[in-house]
Chains A and B, each alone.
Chain A
Amino acid sequence: MAEAGEKSSEMEWCFSQVKGAIDDEVAEADLISAVEFNYTGELLATGDKGGRIVIFQQNPENKSQPQCHAEYNVYSTFQSHEPEFDYLKSLEIEEKINKIRWLPKKNAAHFLLSTNDKTIKLWKISERNKRPEGYNLRNGPYKDFTSIASLQVPVFKPMDLMVEASPRRVFANAHKYHINSISVNSDNETYLSADDLRINLWHLEITGQSFNIVDIKPANMEDLTEVITAAEFHPNQCHTLVYGSSKGIIRLCDMRAAALCDKHAKIFEEPEDRNSRSFFSEIISSISDVKFSHSGRYMMTRDYLSVKIWDINMGTRPIETFQVNEYLRSNLCSLYDNDCIFDKFECCWSGNDRVVMTGSYNNFFRMFDRGFRRDVTLEASRENCKPQSVLKPCKVSIGLEISIDSVDCNKKILHTAWHPLDNIIAVATTNNLFIFQDKLK
């Protein structure tokens, strides 16, 4: 495990690659909506609004060369979800990929789960580099069966590498509301899918049924005041899951306690700061992402303005709070007006759990080093695209009022991912994927 954080006092990030169209005209279907490394970091999957998944593979030849170890090339592209039309409700079901989650590798093939608003699919990605040749009739010397004099046995001959993606399972019709999260359990047999009001537990082999384990739908929909916004299984404990809500509350559930986990085992809620209360307090407290640390000891939550680290043994308050873009607080009304206050930013842990990362507007992304109590703001832009060029941290003055005109809400980084074993990060702007690597290797 490469632990750059321990060796050096500060990480410097270099540009490695950028994927996606160069022109400014962004096709709506190309908007990146999901980014995820697999368990070894060898594969990087992205999902877009058009329902496509593109998988990049780390170039194996250059893994040993430190300068180029973050080179990813296209491995497979396939259409995961298609748009559907719900005739009963006269609503279109978007094909946009909401989440991608890899399964741990069990054999030569790779498996991932991808989901749109309503349907989860299990995809098998397998390589084929040999094909049988020498069939008697198909590609043999004989033109028709009457002229066969003797038979030959087909043999496998090498061929150009072909990567095939095939849907192995389709988990459909289990969600009335829009799916926002999927999470694979550490037992490698089950996974959860969460929509606005319910969380279902599936077995990877069984598509015909799923168990409802959390249901927060009130008897009377008029009493609805809270929805589920994110959910995740614990990385080690197969009976533990957490889900965050639109009210800024995180609930931890233990599946051993009851079949229906409506009653939480633990609740994580920070008492509200009365001084900074505004009309938008609830909206900005809404949890947009929740992620366990790799160790399973900590949990990170993202709300509109901050990232909070929680010790899962203590629910009264987070152990660390990082302000991502506090300068937006004075512009909440404008952000409410243009709907950007509802943006859902994701967050991620570094492989060693020492650094956390999240995106913001103006194509900024922020990293918070928990160990050295340092933070840095970097920008993903095509202007910093020279190979190996070191990213200069951006200085965003805090304490000064910032005009809303300075905040480019169209350039937002909602999705980021960190290689599980190395200091390589993938940052998605609207339609480009930037890959950066740590310089000191």
Chain B
Amino acid sequence: MLGRGVKRKWSCLEEELEDLPAAPCVTEGKPHLNVSDGSSPPEGPVVAPSKSQQRQVVLGLCLEKLQTGVELSLRRSVLLINTLRQLQEEMRSDGEDVCSHRESCLLRDSMKEDMAVTCPDCTEEDDIDSLLLPELSNQEEASLNDPKTFTAFSDAVSAMGYLSDLALDDIFEDIDTSMYESSDLSSAWASGVGLWDEDVKVKQQGALQSCISDLNELDHIMEILVKRGVQTVFTKKWT
């Protein structure tokens, strides 16, 4: 995750910007808006990305931000989630079936993490122990695009962020994680999301499918770990 205010390289952005990249502004007299050191815009015609591609970019960014910066502020998280919901709505209305299980999970994760991070009295009010077990059995039948059912599975997912992971590294080892620094789960998730960036540049559908199958394996592993007593960690941490 790039630091706040750090500009990405032009080559990363050029295919992801919504509008045509333009020449630097020419001001008269006072050259205050100078082109900073960095790559200059490419010469020649640039094809504007399609609406669908733009959506993918923004979706990827959204998920990435929800994963890595959820504790920054509630306002930021709420705005990100609203953007995500809007994207999912648009995709659904356009008939695109890219709302994967992963996205709904992450949506739930981030809301649950928000709850846990900023609102301990919520977790006090819910009876966590009673929620966890009954809902686990419904996990696989849960509607893919139903963000309303926030299951305890996602609670465990967020708790996972604090455990050192073993099996997940195997799944993600062939993914380029050079952009991400830490070695804990959150970077593993982030590198999974990093796929989104690659997708836009290559072909979307194929990479998405392999991503989804990887994630199904991930779900399975998660379930096993939950049954081993992760909920204990969760309840200790967030109550």
Contact = CB atoms under 8 A, between A and B. Distances in A.
Interface in A392-426: 392, 394-397, 400-410
Contacts of A406: 24-25, 33-36
B180 to A, nearest CB: 15
A221 B13 contact: no
Interface string B65-84: 10001010111101101110
Contacts of B17: 331, 333-334, 404
B203 interface: no
B237 interface: yes
Contacts of B26: 397, 400
Nearest to B115: A221
A282 interface: yes
Given A221-B122, A222-B111, A403 B22 contact: yes
A334 B41 CA distance: 14
B188 interface: no
A283 B62 CA distance: 12
Nearest to B20: A401
Nearest to B29: A395
A336 B74 contact: no
* Chain A binding surface, main DSSP class: loop
A406 B19 CA distance: 16
Interface stretch (B1-9, B135-143, B165-173, B209-217): B1-9
Interface in A355-397: 362, 364, 379, 392, 394-397
A50 B197 CA distance: 37
A330 B79 contact: no
Contacts of B5: 338-340, 409-410
Nearest to B2: A338
B57 interface: yes
A12 to B, nearest CB: 16
A402 B86 contact: no
Contact of B25 (A221, A279, A397, A408): A397
A327 B25 CA distance: 10
A372 to B, nearest CB: 22
Given A221-B115, A221-B122, A406-B35, A330 B148 contact: no
A379 B38 CA distance: 23
A178 to B, nearest CB: 6
Contacts of B195: none
Contacts of A395: 27-30
B75 A286 contact: yes
Interface in A196-245: 196-197, 217, 221-222, 224-227, 229
A337 interface: yes
* Pairs of residues from A and B, 8 with the lowest C-beta to C-beta distance, nearest first: A401-B22, A402-B25, A406-B33, A196-B74, A409-B5, A339-B4, A330-B19, A403-B24
Given A197-B74, A221-B111, A364-B32, 8 more contacts: A176-B121, A221-B115, A282-B79, A330-B18, A342-B73, A400-B22, A403-B35, A405-B36
Interface of A: 88-91, 176-178, 196-197, 217, 221-222, 224-227, 229, 246, 278-280, 282-283, 286, 327, 330-334, 336-340, 342, 362, 364, 379, 392, 394-397, 400-410
30 contacts: A176-B119, A222-B150, A225-B78, A225-B81, A227-B75, A227-B78, A246-B75, A278-B18, A279-B54, A279-B58, A283-B83, A330-B18, A330-B19, A333-B61, A334-B8, A338-B2, A339-B4, A342-B73, A342-B75, A362-B33, A392-B30, A394-B30, A396-B27, A396-B32, A403-B35, A404-B13, A405-B36, A406-B25, A406-B36, A409-B7
